């Protein structure tokens, strides 16, 4: 199922590395993940963002979203899934199915594999090191979508579960950071090569404590768009709207 990122032939585990028939070799790290990314060193989320995301997600504020994803996986009888742009692996952990997690960030995969039992690889969603028609499903949560690659790795009748931020996501946080906060654009994807079989909105509010709000800022693009003065505006716990679009597509 795994393929060599260089020559695209199958790779198999030989002792502590993966090898292909053309003698390309990829070491398995002590933590159990493998770097299958041949270009883009240091791409994706950096260590600080990864740690912030890990610390925030582990507090359970997005548990409702995780539960929805699990329900969808059970509903469509999905047994094998690729979590593309998996970050710390929060949504695809504890699923009791076969999970392949890929992220372009070595730091993210390092964190994911130190805490979970799934298979993790550093790789880009633009060129996933899986053979064609390998899996029942792909999961993308707040991560880049490369539809041709998804189509290629899905089995016939396979599913894409896509989660994107909806209009009011983190709105109150933006009111703290910006003088003129804006609503998110409704970016529901229309994907020609797959058929939408389900679309739902999940919206709820959580009281998020001050330290977790700072982690939330560090794991989002706001961190890079916001000057340090604005961080002083986060003084206390805040009730924040979490607003997700969840779409399910079938090949
Ligand atoms: C907003 S985070 C979401 C992470 C995770 N899905 C979650 O929701 O916790 C986006 C992730 O996509 C990764 N990423 C960005 N570009 C990527 C690419 N071309 N291929 C794979 N991962 C990518 C980043 O490193 C980061 O971990
Ligand atoms: Zn090879």
Q: Token pair for residue 69?
A: 């994803």
pTM of structure: 0.96
**Centre of ligand 1 from the C-alpha of residue 121, in Å:** 13
**Centre of ligand 1 from the C-alpha of residue 144, in Å:** 7
Residue nearest to atom 4 of ligand 1 (CA): 87
For the stretch 133-172, pLDDT in tens is 999 999 999 999 999 999 999 999 999 999 999 999 999 9
CA atoms of 11 and 18, how far apart (whole Å):
6
Query: Where do we find the tokens 């109150």?
Result: 172
Q: Which CATH superfamily is domain 39-79+90-97+125-250 in?
A: Vaccinia Virus protein VP39 (3.40.50.150)
- Strand bridging mode 17-20 / 25-27: antiparallel
Low-confidence ranges of the chain (pLDDT < 70): 115-116, 188-189, 222-223, 225-230
Which residues does ligand 1 sit against, CB inside 6 Å? 44-45, 53, 85-88, 90, 103-105, 108, 124-126, 141-144
For the stretch 53-85, pLDDT in tens is 999 999 999 999 999 999 999 999 999 999 999
């Amino acid at each position: 199922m795994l393929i060599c990122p260089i020559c695209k032939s199958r790779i198999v585990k030989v002792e502590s590395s993966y090898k292909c028939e053309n003698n390309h070799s990829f070491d398995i790290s002590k933590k159990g993940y493998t770097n299958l990314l041949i270009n883009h060193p240091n791409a994706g989320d950096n260590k600080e963002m990864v740690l912030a995301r890990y610390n925030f997600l582990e507090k359970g504020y997005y548990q409702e979203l995780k539960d929805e994803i699990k329900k969808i996986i059970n509903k469509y009888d999905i047994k094998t899934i690729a979590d593309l742009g998996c970050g710390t692996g929060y949504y695809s952990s504890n699923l009791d199915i076969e999970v392949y997690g890929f992220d372009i960030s070595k730091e993210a995969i390092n964190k994911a594999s130190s805490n979970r039992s799934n298979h993790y690889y550093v790789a880009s969603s633009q060129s996933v090191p899986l053979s064609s028609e390998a899996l029942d499903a792909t999961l993308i949560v707040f991560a880049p979508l490369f539809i041709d690659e998804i189509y290629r790795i899905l089995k016939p009748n396979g599913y894409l579960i896509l989660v994107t931020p909806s209009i009011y996501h983190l709105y109150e946080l933006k009111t703290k950071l910006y003088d003129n906060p804006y609503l998110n654009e409704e970016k529901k994807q229309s994907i020609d090569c797959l058929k939408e079989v389900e679309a739902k909105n999940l919206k709820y509010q959580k009281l998020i404590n001050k330290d977790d709000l700072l982690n939330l800022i560090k794991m989002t693009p706001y961190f890079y768009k916001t000057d340090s003065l604005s961080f002083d505006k986060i003084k206390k716990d805040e009730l924040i709207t979490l607003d997700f679009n969840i779409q399910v597509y079938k090949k």
